[in-house]
Amino acid sequence: EVQLVESGGGLVQPGGSLRLSCAASRFTFSAYSMTWVRQAPGKGLEWVSYISSSSTTKYYADSVKGRFTVSRDNANNSLYLQMNSLRAEDTAVYYCGRDSGTAGIDWGQGILVTVSS
């Protein structure tokens, strides 16, 4: 069974930065695209970013474009999300996921990011 474990969340002030990590195991990480999805408190799911298996293709939601950067380290089975210029509206649980296109997303357990002064 796919295992994805997020880390790096916490409380950060508006305008600050945070780097989320996702440790992947129990599958061949380098063969899969990965994605980040977030969920604000009491709200629905919002797709954030996508990165292809070899990092050649990256996509971002308009709401984070220019502020967030997705990356991966296939040698260490790790996915990252660098979040800069954070705003209150970025407060959410962030999930990393293995993105298999029409076969769907396999999810981590999520990590809370709170942007507040």
Partner 1 sequence: EIQMTQSPSSVSASVGDRVTITCRASQGISSWLVWYQQKPGKAPKLLISGASSLQSGVPSRFSGSGSGTDFTLTISSLQPEDFATYYCQQAHSFPRTFGQGTRVEIK
CB of 8 to partner 1, least distance (A): 17
Q: Which of 26, 28, 104, 116 binds partner 1 (CB under 8 A)?
A: 104
Site string for partner 1, 10-49 (x = CB under 8 A): -------------------------x--------xxxx--
Contacts by residues 80-84 (CB-CB < 8 Å, ≥ 24 positions apart): 80/19, 80/20, 80/21, 80/22, 81/19, 81/20, 81/22, 81/36, 81/48, 81/49, 82/17, 82/19, 83/17, 83/18, 83/19, 83/20, 83/113, 84/17
* Residue 5, SS3 per DSSP: strand
Q: Binders of partner 1: how many residues, by CB under 8 A?
A: 21
Q: Is 61 in the site for partner 1 (CB under 8 A)?
A: yes
Q: Is 9 in the site for partner 1 (CB under 8 A)?
A: no
Interface residue list for partner 1 (CB under 8 A): 35, 44-47, 50, 59, 61-62, 95, 100-110
